[in-house]
Structure 1
Amino acid sequence: MSSFNLRMLLLLALGHLVTDIYQGALSTILPFLKEKLSLSYTMAGAILMTSSITSSVIQPVFGIISDKKGKAFLLPLGAFCAGIGFSLLAWSPSYPIVLCLVLVSGLGVAAYHPEGYKTATFFTGEQKATGMSIFTVGGNLGFALGPILTLLVIQYFGLDWLPVMAIPAVLFVILILSVWRIISDHHEAHAALNRAPAAPVPGARTGLALVIATVVMRSWTQFGLMSYIPFYYIDYLKGNPVHAGTMVSIFLLGGVVGTLSGSPLADKWGHKKVLMLSLGLTSLIFPLIFYADGPALFGVFALLGMTLIASFTVTIVMAQRLLPNNLGVASGLTVGFAIGTGGIGVTILGVIADAYGVPAALKFIGILPVAGFLMSLTVPYPSEKR
């Protein structure tokens, strides 16, 4: 087994950060695209649905390819496509062009994640949870920084300058190519050491299905909040659009804190217990959205991000433990398919918002973590000795 390599984990986490900058920023520019192209809430939701399908739902396909034979080139290619597709959205003259660019960006995201999670395991040594949390936090930071960077560009230079957002992707491609031999060597070593499959885990299929269903509820909640925080704050609370983007970033930065704290707690208390705690606390905090105002509302969203996303790495580790012979597929199912399927639910939220208003859509979102919590109670999972 290879030793813990912080330098390589940080590089892969940087790629995760760069890729998720574009995924996290998409919901932030929706109000601007909606105004520019005169889109309805349903059409705006369809943009996110396209992103979810291409960036997440099809990730298991890339995971299958990765498990059969490593495709390390997907790391630089994925990051580059994610950046180019997003950055050109500002120049889109029509709704179909927007969808096409979102598709290109989404495929780039889908290509990077399964290969990224699999490659990250090569550099964790025996400290699997710690190593995976480092890689995961890169994505959390990307989601959080995306709205901030995008809004800074729009605020100071205008929407037409959005293509400068492609710079991080280009820089990452240069960096990862500079250490390509190290990545290739670890891929070859992993293939040589893992020719004999591990014994299957009893009840793995049922457990994996319930973990995936729980992640769907969690991601539907996350993407729903990311999409409708700006609309709720701008259209109903009459807040500053820039502050709305900041609120999304605070929510996601809370998720970074949750990810870093959730992993060691899971190592100490057990993966399943932390998953239940995460969704249970989220269910209790969520109603405060409708009672808090001003700075308190920012605090509520920070807490929601921390509790909701605390189980992100935990569910990935649970899936990989249930499916030890298919790390790429396990990552693709939990990070891609389950999260993407939850993201598709944003389209349903758009229909609710058009028919009954944004507050009604937010109230519907509040039901989702409760459903996820109830599902987490029934997950069959191998015993964890602490």
Structure 2
Amino acid sequence: MVKMNKKALGLLSAAHFVTDLNQGALPALLPFFKEALNLSYTTAGAILLSANLTSSIIQPVFGHLSDRKPIGWLLPLAPLIACLGISASGFIPHYFLLLACIIASGIGIAIFHPEGFKTAYFFTGEKKATGMSIFAVGGNLGIALGPIWALILVTSLGLRGTLGMIVPGILIGGVLLFNLSEITSPVETAHKEAKKEERKPLTKDQKWTFFLLVTVATVRAWIQFGMATYIPFYYINYLKGNPLYAGKLVSTFLISGAAGTLIGAPLADRWGHKKFLHITLLLSFPFLLLFYYSSGFISFILLGIAGMVLISSFALTTVMGQATLPQHLGIASGMMVGFTMSAGGIGVTILGVIADAWGVPMAMKTILILPLIAFGISLMVKYPLKLKGER
């Protein structure tokens, strides 16, 4: 039995945390960019679109390159690039230059995810979902703490406080560089062995199952980023509330999701991957609905439960995608994580159009129905697949 390497997963998880800290910070910074540059909701949403569109295109490309040749040397560089783009964003007085900074950060995020998830796969051992959850929770925590960290910086130091985002990027880059040979050696070994094997074309079932998994994960990401973006808009711009209060709500949602990733993965390994996916998508709907119509402390509890249930399948869907395309781990990782998160973020731009036309509350209500759509799609997933030549 192959044992789980918790040290390697911990290092990769820390890098994942720093990389996605920037992804989490961006939605919380949008109201400040909106005010500083006098933007509409649609143009503010386009800032997120620029990062996610860039990322959605680049991540599958890097996934494909990773399947052809190991590119583990990029792992220390990627978090640094991601942090550099966001740290510079608070100093930019022009909209298009701001987009350039956000795109640069998106490129750093895009470089990290395919190689990071592919590398983590080789350290997960027998319990794939459980092992992958250790790596995935770093990203979930980064996205969760990104809003509160960004809001602390800009409320304390002004918009130029974003410069503080560069510090974790420098630190983790150095740590990964020091441990690079240990982290990348299993990938290089597997790549050499894979060269000796004949790659078989994908079956129709593989293509259809993978497409459905990508779609489910995209809708889930749309919910996640929609909540992270429109809770601040709802409480800061619509209700004229405290920015830090809004940041605490977003972080409650996402930190609970990170906890759900760790708690849910062992349950998924025990109950069955597909069954667990169905349960979590279906249960997300009532808790999000109850949160919207609640107030005070109970809203934190309901939002926390909603985040825990919804995001608990994050590592799971990645493992399902990798199991569906076992000979294409790089592109499977790039699509299941990078593309779906980025494409989900693109959905936030649609919410911006809705908010401009019918108001922020309507955008929030749109988010509420998305779990039911994802659940309906997941019912069509055929998993696990019996692959030819499988032992």
Superposition TM-score tier, normalisation by shorter sequence: over 0.9
On the 8 A contact 1:57/1:341 being kept in 2, the answer is no
Measured in 1, the distance between the counterparts of 2:66 and 2:77 equals 14
Structure 2 distance, partners of 1:284, 1:309, is 15
TM-score computed with the length of structure 2 as normaliser: 0.94
When structure 1 is superposed on structure 2, of 15-24 and 288-297 the one drifting more is: 288-297
2:9 aligned with 1:9, yes or no? yes
Give 1:343's aligned residue.
345
Amino acid in structure 2 at the alignment position of 1:359: P
Quote the residue 2:270 is aligned against.
Answer: 268
1:124: Cα distance to partner? 2.1
Contact 1:13–1:137 (8 Å) recurs in 2: yes
Residue 198 and residue 320 in structure 1: after superposition, are their counterparts in 2 closer, same or farther (change >3 A)?
A: farther
Task: Name the CA distance, whole Å, in 2 between partners of 1:225 and 1:57.
Answer: 23
Between stretches 230-239 and 24-33, larger displacement belongs to 230-239
Task: Establish whether residue 163 from structure 1 lines up as the match of residue 170 from structure 2.
Answer: no
Q: Is 2:272 the counterpart of 1:282?
A: no
Q: Secondary structure at the match of 2:321?
A: helix
Instruction: Tell me the SS of whatever aligns to 1:29.
Output: helix
Q: Deviations over 1:293-319 (max 9, x none)?
A: 011112222112111101111110110
1:255 aligns with 2:257: yes
Q: Distance in 1 between matches of 2:103 and 2:71?
A: 21
2:258 partner amino acid: V
Deviates more, 1:84-93 or 1:293-302: 293-302
Within 2, Cα distance between the matches of 1:184 and 1:273?
Answer: 34
Q: Deviations over 1:348-371 (max 9, x none)?
A: 110110111000011111121111
After superposition, what is the alpha-carbon deviation per residue over 1:182-213, rounded to whole angstroms, capped at 9, x for unaligned? 23432321223333257767711111111111
Within 1, Cα distance between the matches of 2:4 and 2:217? Answer: 28
Tell me the alpha carbon deviations over residues 334-357 of structure 1, each in whole angstroms, 9 at most, x when there is no partner: 101122112111111101101110
1:171-182 equivalence runs, <5 A: 171-182=171-182
CA distance in 2, matches of 1:329, 1:163: 33
Task: Write out aligned runs for 1:136-147 (5 A).
Answer: 136-147=136-147
Q: Distance in 2 between matches of 1:26 and 1:214?
A: 23
Q: In structure 1, what is the Cα distance between the partners aligned to 2:131 and 2:177?
A: 22
Contact 1:2-1:122 within 8 A present in 2 as well: no
- Alpha-carbon distance change, 3 to 190 in structure 1, aligned in 2, over 3 angstroms: farther
Q: What is the CA deviation profile of residues 41-83 of structure 1, one whole-angstrom value per residue up to 9, with x for unaligned ones?
A: 0001101111111223431111000000010122112111100
Deviates more, 1:195-204 or 1:219-228: 195-204
One-letter amino acid of the counterpart of residue 210, structure 2? L
Give the letter for the 1:357 counterpart: G
The match for 2:389 is none
SS at 2:124 equivalent:
coil
- In 1, Cα distance between equivalents of 2:284 and 2:123: 33
Which whole-Å CA distance do the structure 1 matches of 2:27 and 2:337 have between them?
19
Instruction: Give the match's secondary structure for 2:90.
Output: helix
Output aligned runs, 1:167-316, within 5 Å.
Answer: 167-195=167-195, 196-197=197-198, 203-316=205-318
Give the aligned residue type for 2:333: S
Aligned equivalents of 2:246 and 2:16: distance in 1?
Answer: 24
CA–CA distance in structure 2, aligned partners of residues 51 and 197 of structure 1: 37
Alpha-carbon separation, structure 1, partners of 2:89 and 2:305: 32
Aligned to 1:61: 61
For the residue of structure 2 that corresponds to 1:43, the secondary structure is helix
Aligned to 1:150: 150
Structure 1 residue 129, shift from structure 2 partner: 2.1
- Tell me how far apart the structure 1 counterparts of residues 214 and 104 of structure 2 sit (CA, whole Å): 25
CA RMSD in angstroms, aligned pairs only: 1.7
Q: Give me the whole-angstrom Cα distance separating, in 1, the residues matched to 2:359 and 2:142.
A: 30
Q: How far apart are 1:95 and its partner, in Å?
A: 0.4
Counterpart of 1:97 in structure 2 is 97
Whole-Å separation in 1 of the counterparts to 2:162 and 2:292 = 33
CA shift at 1:3, angstroms? 4.2
Give the superposition deviation at 1:381: 1.1
Question: Cα distance, 1:35 vs. partner?
Answer: 0.5
Identity of aligned residues (%): 49
In structure 1, distance between residues paired with 2:358 and 2:215: 27
- Normalised to the residue count of structure 1, the TM-score between the two structures is 0.95
Whichever residue aligns with residue 304 of structure 2, its letter is: A
Look up the equivalent residue of 2:307 and give its one-letter code: G
Q: Which residue of 1 is the match for residue 369 of structure 2?
A: 367
Extract unaligned runs of 5+ from structure 2: 387-391
Contact kept, 8 Å, 1:250 with 1:301, in 2: the verdict is yes
For 2:325 and 2:203, locate their aligned partners in 1 and report how far apart those are by CA, in whole Å.
7
Q: Tell whether the 8 Å contact from 2:324 to 2:385 is kept in structure 1 after alignment.
A: no
Partner of 1:332: 334
Structure 1 residues 18 and 144: CA distance shift in structure 2, 3 A:
same
Residue equivalent to 2:109: 109
Q: Work out the CA distance in 2 between the residues paired with 1:98 and 1:236.
A: 24
Closer/same/farther in 2, CA of residues 197 and 378 from structure 1, 3 Å limit = same
Instruction: Provide the aligned length of Structure 1 versus Structure 2.
Output: 384
- Distance across 2 between alignment mates of 1:255 and 1:91: 32
